[in-house]
Structure 1
Amino acid sequence: MPNLELLRIVDSIARDKNISRDQIYTDIEQAVASALRKHFNTEDTTEFTVAIDRQTGDISATRNGQAVPLTLLGRIAAQTAKQVLIQLLRQDERGSIYEEFKDRVGTIVTGTVARFDGPIMFVTVGRAECIMPRSEQIPGEEHQVGQRIQALVREVRDTPGGVRIILSRSHPDMVRRLFEREVPEVGEHTIELKALAREPGHRTKIAVSSIDSKVDAVGACVGVRGSRIKNIVDELGGEKIDIVRWNESSQIFISNALKPAEVAEVSLCFELGRATVVVAEDQLSLAIGKRGQNVRLAAKLTGWDIDILTPAEFKAGVDRLDQTLKSVPGVTQEMCDKIVALGLINVFDIEEVGAEPLVEEVGMDADLARRVVERCTEEAKVVAAEQEAKKAAQALAAAEAASAPPQRDARDEAVLAALGLTPGRDPLEKLAQAAGDDAGAEPAGNDETAKLPDPRQAVPGGAPETTVHKEQPVSSADTELSPEEQAVSLPDSGRKAGAAVEHTEETNADTAALAEGRAEPPASPGR
């Protein structure tokens, strides 16, 4: 009778694991044959034959042409069939995954972050679990488990342990594929991406060109109000993208690649593969970029080794080279001009390229070219020594400036003078010394003045000593009293202590009588 359950299971496995139905039926046949060999304890693979009807699902088995009932199989044989079938289905699934992803290398896929194993991130893409190593992740970017991300399929390998799929978000092709998706003109190849240089997480420079004169390559990539480029920047986590206009002329292309800096002159040296770029003094830092990022990306984009100089540095190198060349007998001004036109702008360049370009391009004979190279080599040593001495002097000056005391302006000197501090001396040191002097000085006084004893010197049970201070007359010559002080001061400054005591007692008596009501208060002057 038809085995409908088997047919339903085969269809389900085929859909879930993307394996053909015929392959699943073949796996089942091999698993049942293995179970029969296990049951009859034989290893001859040709002894048993198992067939499954693809229409009804009926299973039939024969041994050397004779039918064998499957009801003979016991639990152990059934377990063997199960293990063999699982192993065969895993192999088929691995092959299916490999066939699916091997054609998707270089394309962007969308997956879900499954887990982390140290710095390695595992991403589930469909039925496959992909790997994104730390080196393929964007520096500074963080992801959470369950987050959906987009990545480039970098590599697919079929290993004994399974299919290994490597994803990347830091590869330059990731930016290229995003442009192809977000900019229709790039996908249709109306706009070509000529070159691309990237430092993941920081900045990307991309050179574009249009084969249609009516289409602006840069404007189409940017989009209306930056809508297209904004989607790409957001996907890359805020990475800056510079769109550079491509040009067949290397000099113009290098100038465009160094934007936003304004370039004054570009000198190419094909023998060294170097481009010497002259920029104004105020454009130097802009051309170099933060930590050399702008010039480094421009060099990768153009394929030239870029050396940025100011006009003064360029002129100094050319003048030194001109003087050195003219010191060699037989060198003319025309030869010097040709050498500079080749992009050789200093004595180090002549030493590096040797005599061959001088013979082939400038027209010197072999002996003259040899003497020119020798003379430039000697001068290069002198220039190198001068540069080292200059660097040492600058380092020494910087060290002295760092160790020198801070400079004070005129206002600081005025404040120090008002405080009675010596200008040029550390105010904190002066104040600390003044405070120490005050703390260490003994108070001045008469010999007869007694001092309170130190509490540590007090005798247990003894009464504290009483200090008696003698009154000293205040000299009017030394201190000028105000009218109020003269009104309350003693009329006779030479009065003795006894008179002062009597006056005090009388005052106290009058105050007591006034308080008891025995005396009338004195009349107010205004009444």
Structure 2
Amino acid sequence: MSQELIRIVENIARDKNIDKESIFADLEAALVSAARKAFSTSEETEIEVFIDRDNGNITAYKDGEKLDVKRFGRIAAQTAKQVMIQKLKADERESIFAEYVKRKGEAVNGSIARFEGGTMVIDLSNRVEAIMPKSEQIGGETHHVGERLRCMILDVREVSSQVRIILSRTHPDFIKRLFELEVPEVTEGIIEIKALAREAGYRTKIAVESHDDKVDAVGACVGVRGSRIRNIVDELSGEKIDIVRWSDSSQTLIANALKPAEVSEIAICFELGRATVVVTEDQLSLAIGKHGQNVRLAARLTSWDIDILTPEEYNAGVERLAECVTSIEGVDDSFVDQLLALGIISVLDLEEVGSEPLIEELGVDEDTAVKAVELAENVAKEIASEKKQAEDILEQEQARTEDEDEDEDTEPGLGIDLPQ
């Protein structure tokens, strides 16, 4: 029996991933409870139980006097069993928590065990189940019980004496984990993922940089004939992934991030954290993207607010700015050029920036700077008024068109009483 106890402890330790010493300690605590039950002792009575870790022999003492463990009886054995089960469950829970809390952010594979409402329950191993809430699932994907699924460990919590492992397929870091799995150069640190922006299920933009001149960052991520990126896209059920080259130059990075659109010009205003990007008419829809997705992701990838303008819109803004500031006595076109160099390309920008940067950055005297901003504010009000009038006219035109359409759909009465 003693050697069998050793084998049982070893099997439990291996199957449940619990430290053997912890199991022996639980057994001893359970046998103490059993001894109290068997000998009807109070809590004040000192009961000690020792299990030899080498041969499994059990010795017990009550107030220093050795006890016969064979006299514990059936009720005491049942008590020991219940205590042991509770302690083993607690140990297993602690073991699972300790293991998975260290694995937060890792990509894991599991099989779908069942669905509980919109939540997916995923079996990670024979002893561990995790959940993927609806919010962490990629919209539009359909899955079935038994399907193998790759996901990321988002969080690990202890809730009501249970370990709750939360998985995600929508988190941006899940994309990083997939690139680490598919692109060895990313795992090895040769290629670094510098920035990432994602709208799960639709599109991801990822900026990469190579720390080895011999390795092309974009080419390595794409793979031979697109093999590597295809594997990632397939894993994400067709989500589009744009891989762009990282640059420390904000202008270059913004131009790269807006691809596949070709950019004509970029004006950066550090004061506003804004980049004004000029694209030709034929590139406008590409730059903005469907429902504004391309420019939105580019803005998040680069950490710049991005405004997209056509050359006509850009030139109109610059002309109005020039008319505004050159009306000040002593100010010429060189001041306009200085404003453009600061990324101020319209009276709206000038109004928002204020006079302080003009004084500090351009060395303009305070009176001129304040006057320029005041004039910009007045012109900005005129622009807002013109915009409001244009919107009102458009609404009136739409209302009139709708009324005319209703009149055409209504058949006029003849006003004649027909004979019976």
Find the counterpart in structure 1 of residue 34 from structure 2. 35
Letter matched to residue 360 of structure 2? E
Pairs within 5 Å for 1:265-284: 265-284=265-284
Find the counterpart in structure 1 of residue 219 from structure 2. 219
Find the counterpart in structure 2 of residue 368 from structure 1. 368
Counterparts of 1:212 and 1:56, CA distance in 2: 58
Give the CA deviation at 1:188: 1.8
Counterparts of 1:249 and 1:138, CA distance in 2: 34
Give the CA deviation at 1:393: 2.0
Percentage identity across paired residues of the two chains: 57
Counterparts of 1:397 and 1:309, CA distance in 2: 26
Give the CA deviation at 1:350: 1.5
Letter matched to residue 70 of structure 1? V
3-state SS of 1:272 partner:
coil
Find the counterpart in structure 2 of residue 20 from structure 1. 19
Give the CA deviation at 1:404: 4.2
Letter matched to residue 271 of structure 1? E
**1:342-375 per-position Cα deviation (integer Å, ceiling 9, x unaligned):** 1111111122111110101121222222222222
Alignment CA distance shift 1:132-1:45 (3 Å): farther
Pairs within 5 Å for 1:501-512: none
3-state SS of 1:247 partner:
coil
Give the CA deviation at 1:13: 1.1
Is residue 2:64 matched to residue 1:65?
Answer: yes
Pairs within 5 Å for 1:383-398: 383-398=383-398
Find the counterpart in structure 1 of residue 183 from structure 2. 183
Pairs within 5 Å for 1:63-212: 63-126=62-125, 127-212=127-212
Alignment CA distance shift 1:235-1:152 (3 Å): same
3-state SS of 1:193 partner:
strand
Counterparts of 1:46 and 1:307, CA distance in 2: 79
Letter matched to residue 369 of structure 1? A
Find the counterpart in structure 1 of residue 242 from structure 2. 242
Counterparts of 1:356 and 1:47, CA distance in 2: 80
3-state SS of 1:197 partner:
strand
Counterparts of 1:397 and 1:277, CA distance in 2: 32
Q: Which has the higher strand share?
A: 2
Give the CA deviation at 1:45: 6.5
3-state SS of 1:74 partner:
helix
Alignment CA distance shift 1:253-1:133 (3 Å): same
5+ residue gaps in structure 2? none
Find the counterpart in structure 2 of residue 297 from structure 1. 297
Find the counterpart in structure 1 of residue 316 from structure 2. 316
Give the CA deviation at 1:131: 1.8
Letter matched to residue 250 of structure 2? S
Counterparts of 1:212 and 1:184, CA distance in 2: 14
Give the CA deviation at 1:334: 1.8
Pairs within 5 Å for 1:341-380: 341-380=341-380
Counterparts of 2:110 and 2:178, CA distance in 1: 16
Give the CA deviation at 1:403: 4.7
Counterparts of 1:393 and 1:383, CA distance in 2: 15
Counterparts of 2:388 and 2:362, CA distance in 1: 32
Counterparts of 2:137 and 2:165, CA distance in 1: 15
Find the counterpart in structure 2 of residue 54 from structure 1. 53
Counterparts of 1:194 and 1:275, CA distance in 2: 20
Counterparts of 2:34 and 2:405, CA distance in 1: 93
TM-score, with structure 1 as normaliser: 0.75
Letter matched to residue 346 of structure 1? S
3-state SS of 1:73 partner:
helix
Alignment CA distance shift 1:266-1:298 (3 Å): same
Give the CA deviation at 1:429: 5.8
3-state SS of 2:34 partner:
helix
3-state SS of 1:301 partner:
helix
Counterparts of 2:346 and 2:255, CA distance in 1: 22
Letter matched to residue 388 of structure 1? K
Alignment CA distance shift 1:298-1:358 (3 Å): same
TM-score, with structure 2 as normaliser: 0.93
What CA RMSD, in Å, does the superposition of the two structures yield over aligned residues?
Answer: 2.4
3-state SS of 1:113 partner:
strand
How many residues align structurally? Answer: 419
Letter matched to residue 113 of structure 2? A
3-state SS of 2:102 partner:
helix
Larger Rg: 1
Counterparts of 2:41 and 2:208, CA distance in 1: 69
Find the counterpart in structure 2 of residue 490 from structure 1. none
Find the counterpart in structure 2 of residue 328 from structure 1. 328
Is residue 2:288 matched to residue 1:288?
Answer: yes
